[in-house]
Amino acid sequence: MSMDIDLAAFAGTDPIYVITEEVFTAMIDGEEGYLRHWDGPDPVFVDPMHAWVDVNGTTSGRVLLTTERGTADKLARALLQMTPDEPVSPEDFVDALGEVANVVGGNVKSLVPEPGVLTLPQVTQDRPPTLPDALIYELALDWRGSALVISLWKLP
Amino acid sequence: MTLANDSFLFVSDLVRRRSAIQLEAGKEYLVESRLLPLARTAGAADVDAYVRSLRAAPSPAALEAVVEALTTNETSWFRDAQPFQALTGHVVPSLLEGGLPGFAPSLRVWSAACSSGQEPYSIAMALADVVPPQSLRITATDLNEKMLTRGRQGRYSQLEVNRGLPAPMLVKHFVRVGADWEIAPQLKQAVTFQRHNLLDAPPSGGPFDVVFLRNVLIYFDIATKRDVLRKVQGVLRPGGYLLLGAAETTIGVDEGWERVPVGRGSVYRRTARRAA
Amino acid sequence: MRALVIDDSRTMRRIVSGVLGSMGFETVEAGDGRQALDVLESGTEIDLACIDWNMPVMNGLEFVTSVRQNREWRDMTLMMVTTESEQGQIVRALAAGAHEYLIKPFTPDAVRDKLQLLGLVDLEESA
């Protein structure tokens, strides 16, 4: 995947924000309005969860979702349509988070003209290793008051 | 920044009265998110301040903007399916064989109350295989300038194109633009968007062969319904067709129409002679 | 009516099965194209298959191609449910024999709309 997504070409609307908003509207919240841009200093995560997919093509990139563990739990529950008191198994939690990364990542992949192959999603507590200059794009979001960061990384 | 309770109640009451949509307790965050852009444009410190200023000096336009921001307009493509099947399966063949001047130079369709454009573009897509694009002239009208702008741009989100649009039509008539899909230029050319109030004199672009006036008359009283239908008759060719919403009819409302059952529904043909 | 939900994500299978279930479908799940073919080959009658594209062992496109080669399954409706949303990908899937294509993310209403287009759900049933 060529990471040269010319974001400026999309007439002022950030397509990655649009994609994320659609994922949340359609599958997590059921309606628009619970996701907005993060207002204020960059969020700092105390106990983060990371979920990502890689796109392998002419050049390769990673679409990474990072959020607080508690937020990740709420996300998984919302996607699985489970109430706060229902137990979410670790497998369900990982699968749900991975699916969010998969749907966001898959749609980001569709933004670029070159064909690319999406890897299976990965979900970890440790930040995935990346090279220092590899960050191409970062979007800090506010979902129901909690922070969520989407970032795009160039892969070697 | 949380919305004060009385501000929330004001907004939810307004929305309920105008749209019957209920915003129960728990939706404060939603209301705030949706109204934030309006508050920013108005230069208010936050949504709460914006709502307070609105209550102090309510303007119809601002109230309307608030209601619009909180009610999602779910329009789908080829809504109800049947009218579009009737269009290609019955209406167009009938117009061709009915001895009308044919489509020289064009088949003229009016899509009234077209909203963000799904209906006129659905008409264009349905007719694309039956009528050459250069012979198709669709006039799409609406009162709302924002909707007209959307229609002219012809750009729809992935969620919007998932709604009732057959996949073969998507790949044939749209191009991807970022995360969105935009109507291809050739099809866009067939549709002209015009601001128009149904209570005024009819729009330019006629006389029409077909008029789509779907799910609009229900908002009017019977006298206004009749008035609108008469105006439509005035710009519809004798033998031309009117397509209404599934639950609507001209029967008992206006003379000069012949009901033609087609499939599960009906279309209405303008009779050449009007009753006195 | 019975639907076969094919996706390597358990979450997605759950979501799709849930939506179809609420519309009166009985659902069977498979984690990849090969498992899905096993279900069909075992004789289970399937009216509708909802198929993810990217799956291990056998992907959705390969599954569609296999199904369309078998005359026994010619009445089965095939709908892709995937994030692959490039124009070229959609064309490929339709050319391979998929009847419809639903892009992720989708809403329950979008599923209903597609099923109405396919004649699997009556228009009168819509809310």
Q: What is the CATH number of the domain that holds A47?
A: 3.40.1550.10
d(CA B257, CA B272): 9
Q: Kindly report the nearest CA distance between residue B76 and chain C, in angstroms.
A: 9
Give me the residue from C87, C91, C102 closest to B176, CB to CB: C87
The number of angstroms, rounded, from the C-alpha of B149 to the middle of its chain's C-alpha atoms is 13
pLDDT of residue C125: 42
d(CA A153, CA A130): 8
Name the domain count of chain A. 1
Chain A hits for C7, Cβ within 8 Å:
none
Kindly indicate the confidence band of residue A6, based on its pLDDT and cuts at 50, 70 and 90: low
Residue A48 in any domain: the answer is: yes
pLDDT of residue C124: 53
The length of chain C is 127
Q: How many helices and strands, by DSSP H and E, does chain B display?
A: 12, 10
pLDDT of residue B27: 81
Q: Kindly report the nearest CA distance between residue A129 and chain C, in angstroms.
A: 25
Q: Token match 């075992």: residue?
A: C42
Subunits with 3+ Cβ pairs within 8 Å of C are A, B
DSSP state letter for B129: T
d(CA B182, CA B170): 10
pLDDT of residue B22: 77
- What are A148's two structure tokens? 């969520």
CA distances to A144, B3, B58 from B32, rounded to whole Å, are 11, 7, 18
CA distances to B33, B70, C108 from A31, rounded to whole Å, are 12, 11, 12
Please give the residue that has the higher pLDDT: either A59 or C42: C42
Name the domain count of chain C. 1
- State phi, psi for B259 to the nearest 5 degrees: -80, 130
d(CA B3, CA A98): 34
* Range(s) within chain B of domains with CATH label 3.40.50.150: 82-270
- Give the helix ranges, DSSP H, for chain B: 5-19, 28-41, 47-56, 60-70, 82-86, 92-97, 118-127, 145-153, 158-161, 167-173, 185-188, 222-234
- Residue of A16, A21, A31, A32 to mutate, interface with B, max B Cβ within 10 Å: A32
- Residue of A99, A100, A117 to mutate, interface with C, max C Cβ within 10 Å: A99
Tell which CATH architecture fits domain B5-70. Answer: Orthogonal Bundle (1.10)
- Residue of B180, B181, B182 to mutate, interface with A, max A Cβ within 10 Å: B180
Residues sharing a CB contact under 8 Å with residue A109, sequence separation 6 or more, in sequence order = A1, A55, A63, A116, A118, C83
Residue C126 in any domain: the answer is: no
The answer to whether residue C62 scores a pLDDT higher than 70 is yes
Count how many pairs of residues, chain A against chain B, have C-beta atoms within 8 Å.
Answer: 45
Quote the domain boundaries for residue C100: 2-120
Query: How many Cα atoms occupy the beta-carbon half-sphere of A131 within 13 Å?
Result: 8
Residues sharing a CB contact under 8 Å with residue B112, sequence separation 6 or more, in sequence order = B141, B196, B198, B211, B212, B213, B216, B232
**What residues 67-126 of chain C have any CB closer than 8 A to a CB of chain A?**
82-86, 88, 104-107, 110
Q: Token match 């198709």: residue?
A: B136
Q: Would you call B21 helix, strand, or coil by DSSP? A: coil
Q: For the segment C6-61, what is each residue's pLDDT rounded down to a tens digit?
A: 999 999 999 999 999 999 999 999 999 999 999 999 999 999 999 999 999 999 99
- What are B205's two structure tokens? 């672009």
Q: Would you call A131 helix, strand, or coil by DSSP? A: coil
d(CA B20, CA B16): 4
Which H helix or E strand runs over A68?
A: strand A60-68
How crowded is residue B227: how many other Cβ atoms within 10 Å of its Cβ?
A: 15
- CB-CB under 8 Å, C87 with B171: yes
Give me the residue from A25, A34, A107 closest to B179, CB to CB: A107
| CA nearest to A81 within chain C | C15
Kindly indicate the confidence band of residue B73, based on its pLDDT and cuts at 50, 70 and 90: low
Q: Does A110 touch chain C (CB under 8 A)?
A: yes
Residue A2 in any domain: the answer is: no
| Residue B156, strand partner residues | B181
Please give the residue that has the higher pLDDT: either B217 or A146: A146
Q: Would you call B174 helix, strand, or coil by DSSP? A: strand
- CB-CB under 8 Å, B166 with C109: no
Q: Token match 């597609």: residue?
A: C114
Q: Is residue B170 classed exposed, middle or buried when 0-12, 13-18 and 19+ CB atoms within 10 A define those classes? A: buried
Name the average pLDDT for chain B. Answer: 88
Of the candidate ranges A2-6, B9-13, B37-41, B47-51, the one whose mean pLDDT is the lowest? A2-6
The answer to whether residue A96 scores a pLDDT higher than 70 is yes
Which CATH number characterizes residue C28's domain?
A: 3.40.50.2300
Quote the domain boundaries for residue A134: 7-155
Residue A150 in any domain: the answer is: yes
| CA nearest to C14 within chain A | A80
- Residue of C50, C91, C112, C113 to mutate, interface with B, max B Cβ within 10 Å: C113
Q: For the segment A69-94, what is each residue's pLDDT rounded down to a tens digit?
A: 999 999 999 999 898 889 999 999 99
How crowded is residue A121: how many other Cβ atoms within 10 Å of its Cβ?
A: 24
The number of angstroms, rounded, from the C-alpha of A75 to the middle of its chain's C-alpha atoms is 11
| C61 in Cβ contact with C96 (< 8 Å) | yes
Q: For the segment C74-106, what is each residue's pLDDT rounded down to a tens digit?
A: 999 999 999 999 999 999 999 999 999 999 999
Q: What is the mean pLDDT of residues A108-122?
A: 89
Q: For the segment B172-227, what is each residue's pLDDT rounded down to a tens digit?
A: 999 999 899 999 999 999 999 999 999 999 999 989 999 999 988 877 888 989 99
Q: Does A109 touch chain C (CB under 8 A)?
A: yes
pLDDT of residue B58: 85
- What are B6's two structure tokens? 């009385």
Residues sharing a CB contact under 8 Å with residue B76, sequence separation 6 or more, in sequence order = B118, B163, B164, B165, C113
Residue A49 in any domain: the answer is: yes
d(CA A134, CA A140): 18
Tell which CATH architecture fits domain B82-270. Answer: 3-Layer(aba) Sandwich (3.40)
pLDDT of residue C127: 35
| CA nearest to C86 within chain A | A110
Residue C125 in any domain: the answer is: no
The answer to whether residue C126 scores a pLDDT higher than 50 is no
d(CA B95, CA C83): 42
pLDDT of residue B69: 80
Q: What is the mean pLDDT of residues B107-136?
A: 93
pLDDT of residue A83: 85
- CB-CB under 8 Å, B36 with A13: no
Q: Kindly report the nearest CA distance between residue B200 and chain C, in angstroms.
A: 34
Kindly indicate the confidence band of residue B102, based on its pLDDT and cuts at 50, 70 and 90: low
| Residue B30, strand partner residues | none
Residue C113 in any domain: the answer is: yes
